[in-house]
């Protein structure tokens, strides 16, 4: 088994909301892009909400998110995982990102949006206890992963509208 590492955050000093995944899947790691699996609903949802659709280049999608005051990152900095499934992450291998530093550099972030249950669980267990002076509105959203097929695209989109409402879209 090999250790995998997350990406650097997509950030803007003016960000007000932070979308957190757990760890990029194999397709994303291979492409070097957040949510690169062709069946992941993240970018189609961002397209509906902010105009950051799959039809435009990745770098331009990131600019759209940043201009919408949205930051994007993963809870984990590294872990050991056999496949792309969150359930396959070895708990004892979980290393979280440096959120104290991140939040000190992004003082306007007040809302966290978790892209799935695993991201929320790890954050609440391993990160939140370390953040002594910051409070956040925590929002669990349905995972955009193709592995989370229980909800239709339309239902996921409806839930993710909370992010657009937060940043005033």
pLDDT at 4: 76
Range of the domain at 26: 3-166
Tally of domains in the chain: 1
Examine the pLDDT at 83 and tell me if it is beyond 90. no
pLDDT at 93: 66
Secondary structure of the chain in the HEC alphabet? CCEEECCCCECCCCCCEEEEECCCCHHHHHHCCCCCCCCCCHHHHHHHHHCCCCCCCHHHHHHHHHHCCEEEEECEEEEEECCCCHHHECHHHCEECCHHHHHHHCCCCCEEEEECHHHHHHHHHHHHHHCCCCCCEEEEECCCCCCCCCCCHHHHHHHHHHHHHHCCC
> What are the tens digits of pLDDT across the range 4-29?
799 999 999 999 999 999 888 888 98
Examine the pLDDT at 86 and tell me if it is beyond 60. no
> What are the tens digits of pLDDT across the range 89-145?
556 767 799 999 999 999 999 999 999 998 999 999 989 988 877 889 999 999 998
Q: What's 84's domain CATH number?
A: 3.40.470.10
- 80-87: average pLDDT: 61
pLDDT at 89: 55
pLDDT at 91: 67
pLDDT at 60: 98
Examine the pLDDT at 87 and tell me if it is beyond 70. no
Kindly report the average pLDDT of the chain as a whole number: 90
């Amino acid at each position: 088994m090999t250790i995998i590492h997350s990406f650097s955050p997509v950030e803007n000093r003016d960000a007000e909301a932070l979308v957190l995944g757990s760890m990029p899947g194999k397709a994303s790691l291979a492409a070097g892009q957040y949510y690169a699996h062709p069946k992941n609903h993240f970018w189609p949802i961002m397209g509906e909400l902010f105009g950051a659709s799959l039809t435009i280049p990745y770098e331009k999608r990131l600019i759209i998110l940043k201009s919408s005051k949205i930051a994007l990152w993963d809870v984990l900095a590294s872990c050991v995982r056999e496949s792309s499934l969150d359930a396959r992450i070895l708990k004892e291998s979980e290393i979280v990102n440096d959120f104290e530093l991140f939040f000190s550099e992004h003082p306007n972030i007040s809302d966290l949006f978790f892209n799935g249950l695993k991201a929320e669980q790890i954050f609440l267990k391993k990160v939140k206890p370390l953040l002594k002076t910051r409070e956040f509105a925590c929002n669990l959203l349905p995972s955009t992963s193709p592995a989370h097929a229980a909800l239709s695209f339309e239902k996921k989109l409806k839930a993710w509208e909370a992010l657009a409402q937060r940043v005033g879209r």
